[in-house]
A and B are shown apart, each in its own frame.
Chain A
Amino acid sequence: MSLPQQLETQPEMETDKPGKRNKRPKRNRKKPKQKMHVFDYINYTILTILTLATIYPFWYVLVISFSTQEGYYQSAYHLLPNSFSLETYKYAFTNDQVFRSIGISLTVTIGGVLISLVLTAMGAYVLSKQKLKGRKAFFIFMIFTMFFNGGIVPLYILVNSLEMRDTVWALILPMAINTFNLILMMNYFSSLPESLEEAAKIDGCNDFQILFKIVLPSSKPIVMTIVLFYAVFYWNDWFLAMLFISNQDYYPLSLFLRNMIISSQNFMSTGLAIQVPEMLKSAVIVISVVPVMLFYPFVQKYFVQGIMLGSVKE
């Protein structure tokens, strides 16, 4: 059903208000019970196994993070906790490096999302204007970077030359605009009615005011989707920190965690006796995952909407 058709049928639907007696037979209101077929059972079984396979690693990490060292050594692979201790979390939260890394990740994520959102929105808004002269050329210029980039050496030289090494900017600015996100946003803006902006112009708004006061507030789904994309990227990214941060005190949580997990394997080859306990690795994994898990439910409802609305043209 097209949107105009939906709008036409809406008044009829409104008459079917709760509390009003429906004249239709009662049994018709009942949802027909669907018969389960063999295929459904197989389907549910496979999906259940897949779900368990997805949940198990998280569950395992959670269990180990609360284990005592002795409990872990007695049985490294167990489904149900065989011991319980908060010592590892206590250590993690009192460890300066963990605390500092969380702070740096928060700084980079909040700052990065804000900067990226503003820049992406401005780029997308301009490119969504059909009347923009040279729009196609600009668009091709942007698209080109999706398929070909300058490579890592120029990026490294550029960031170093701008003296951004060992600063928060090295973790934010190089990836401030993601072309894919920009296209998503641009498509969404294109789908907004022209009349909205025309009305704003009549009221005396300039382009910035239109973007920040009219367009962005009307584009909550795409804004939240883009915020999610950028937030997850900045929170998880370790590569830029690996390239540009030399002082371990300034490592974001992702790089700190990554080092911690791979360290025992690498150190082993040099015969060194530095070992990060599995419980601590697990605890830091849990700590790093929790913020994303807390954040996701708030934007989930906009997520599908944001992607789909931007992609469908009428």
Chain B
Amino acid sequence: MHLKGLRLMLSVVLMLTLLTGCFFGGGGEQKVDKEVSDSGKSDEKVTLKVYRPANVVDPKTDPILQEIGNRLGVNVEIVTAPWDQSNNKVNLMMQSQEEIDIIQAEFQASPWKQWAEDGLMYSIDELLKGKEKDFPYVESITKAESFKGLQVENERFFIPGSHHGQDTALFIRKDWLEKLNLEMPKTMDDFYNVLKAFKEKDPDGNGKDDTIGLQVTMPAPDNFAELDPVMHGFGGSFGGFFEDYVVRNDKVVPLETTDDTKDAFDFMNKLYREGLMNRDFPNLKNVDQGNAKYLYANKAGAIWTSRASEFETNIQKVDPNAKLEFVPPIVADGHEFIPLQGSAWWMMIGIPKSSKHPDEALKFIEFVNSKEGRELLVAGIKGEHYSNLTEQGIYDRNKENWEKDYDVKANGYEYPLWWGFLTTVHGYIPVEEHDTFEDALKNVHMFVSEEDSKKEFNWKTAVEYGSYYNEPNPFHAVYIDSAQDKRNTIQNNVKAVYFLKMITADSEKQVNSLWDQYINAWEDAGGKEVIQAYQDFYDENIK
């Protein structure tokens, strides 16, 4: 019995040792480490610890990260966490003062201002002192008018993680339009008639009444973004963190309370009541769920997306003749189209005081945003992943090498870190060729593979289409502490409740009654005080 137990225990220990050896730290990685160590260079290089949510590449073996490391003379280590836990992880790192060289945190969800005020962050002003010319990107973006709101007591602590601009637009089933002899809609009445025909005239030809006009999903209780083309076609807005307010005659106007917005709700309610949009949208929590039920099942005629190419390919698996087409902004009669008040950024990037290499960290941030860095992160290593990148931003992708180095089945022929790694631009922002960051952003230089450039939907056209629907908001980087609680209350307790009720109301009369209740609730929650706070900010800083 004793011997049996001993044998069992030894077997388990042996198995554990084997498993640990197999799955934690393979032999290959040790070899790489050893090679670096043998060359004697590893000791000379500093190791930069960069935080990047949802990282999927291994810095020890990833050729592009190693190339960046070689060019900058550093070793790159990536600290990561899943997307939805990213803020928790960054908070933990900051609270525990863990040694980390670069962090990126969400603007809305992290106490970035507090970190700066508590002295936990390096001042960008101090790090850049006398070296501004060596850091054109960092200097340009942190000094941009549109990002003035991110400064803490007139000092720069964070660099916005730039975005190539909104790339979401409305797309429609062109083959259905042709089949039903319909024109591309230009007015909201046209749009209504097209959606009605999509629902009633059996565009999929299966003899059943099973199609809808517009596919909508609702990722969060206050997220109605997929109805934006309708809302903005009336000149209204759902209001969101980046698109709340506009300025008219030097007055801050909350679009979410205007008559235009009310008219848009009447129209959306009509679409809902008549089943021209899917009535189950509040239960569909993400676009993939909606696609599986409608778009990819050949049952939806229009959708708001940034993934037109992928969507079209998937619909074609069921209907090979399916074709999506971009729809230019649709305007309602008697209204003016208002572009989405979008933003060109989404992350706060900073160098914590726990960093032992702040200068190298700043160089790293500059590099990954530079033309050279972007070429590497988007097109790959010249001679390996591509051989030529034209002035127009077209590169010839070497698929064989790409497949050798990356899991193309999971990520396609895109480098997993091209986005969200301190920037999200599928190309670069030419700051050195323009006087202001805003001008540079308008002329963002996109990179597209030769293969994709021949397709109708690619990175260039996505940004082009998106630009019809979006423009930066003057307040997109403004964070007013005193107004924040009230804004959150309005967003979570007022808009999330009344907007859904208005869209799904049983009658127009009910929409009218709900609208009055909504305006009262908005005022009770402090809407006017919030607008006043933004008006004061505008008068003092922007006017």
Contact = CB atoms under 8 A, between A and B. Distances in A.
Interface of A: 69-70, 72-77, 91, 97, 100, 103-104, 106-107, 110-111, 114, 152-153, 156-157, 160, 167-168, 212-213, 242-243, 246-250, 255, 258-259, 262-276, 278
Contact of B317 (A73, A271, A272): A73
Interface stretch (B305-313, B435-443, B485-493): B305-313
B336 interface: no
Nearest to B305: A271
Interface residues on B, range: 35 or more
A149 B235 CA distance: 53
Contacts of B296: 73
B286 A167 contact: no
A75 B297 contact: yes
Contacts of B58: 247-249
B16 A73 contact: no
A242 B78 contact: no
B81 interface: yes
Given A264-B288, A265-B285, A246 B78 contact: yes
B16 A107 contact: yes
Contact of A243 (B92, B285, B286): B92
Interface in B74-123: 77-85, 89, 92, 95-96, 98
Interface stretch (B20-28, B259-267, B494-502, B522-530): B20-28
Of the listed residues A103, A107, A258, the one surrounded by the most CB atoms of chain B closer than 10 A to its CB is A107
B3 interface: no
A242 B85 contact: yes
B419 A270 contact: yes
A273 B307 contact: yes
Contacts of B292: 72-73, 76, 278
Nearest to A72: B292
25 contacts: A73-B292, A73-B314, A73-B317, A75-B297, A104-B23, A110-B16, A110-B19, A152-B92, A153-B95, A156-B92, A156-B98, A167-B24, A250-B23, A262-B84, A263-B54, A266-B83, A268-B287, A268-B288, A269-B219, A270-B420, A271-B168, A271-B307, A273-B306, A274-B410, A274-B411
Contacts, number: 128
Nearest to B292: A76
Given A103-B19, A242-B89, 4 more contacts: A104-B24, A107-B23, A268-B219, A276-B410
Contacts of B310: 273, 275
Contacts of B307: 271, 273
Interface string B174-185: 000000000000
Contacts of B407: 97
A157 B297 CA distance: 50
Nearest to A239: B85
Nearest to A250: B24
B12 interface: yes
Contacts of B287: 264, 268
A273 B307 CA distance: 6
B83 A70 contact: no
Contacts of B306: 271, 273
Interface string B285-322: 11111001100110000000011011000100110000
A274 B412 contact: yes
B82 A76 contact: no
B139 to A, nearest CB: 26
Nearest to A118: B9
B2 interface: yes
Contact of B81 (A100, A104, A242): A242
Contact of B16 (A74, A111, A167): A111
Contacts of B19: 103, 106-107, 110-111
B278 to A, nearest CB: 13
Interface string B150-172: 00000000000000001110000
A272 B411 CA distance: 10
B131 to A, nearest CB: 31
A78 B79 CA distance: 41
Given A103-B23, A110-B12, A160 B317 contact: no
Given A103-B19, A265-B286, A168 B412 contact: no
Given A114-B12, A275-B310, A259 B318 contact: no
B144 interface: no
A262 B83 contact: yes
Of the listed residues A72, A246, A259, A266, the one surrounded by the most CB atoms of chain B closer than 10 A to its CB is A246
A74 B309 contact: no
A160 B55 CA distance: 20
Contact of B20 (A111, A156, A242, A249): A111
A278 B19 CA distance: 30
Contact of B89 (A74, A243, A262, A275): A243
Contacts of A110: 12, 15-16, 19
A213 B2 contact: yes
B269 interface: no
A212 B4 CA distance: 13
A114 B80 contact: no
A73 B297 contact: yes
A247 B314 CA distance: 32
B288 A275 contact: yes
Contacts of B166: 271
Contacts of B147: none
B82 A255 contact: yes
Q: Which 6 pairs between the two chains have the least Cβ-Cβ distance?
A: A76-B292, A271-B306, A266-B83, A73-B296, A107-B19, A103-B23
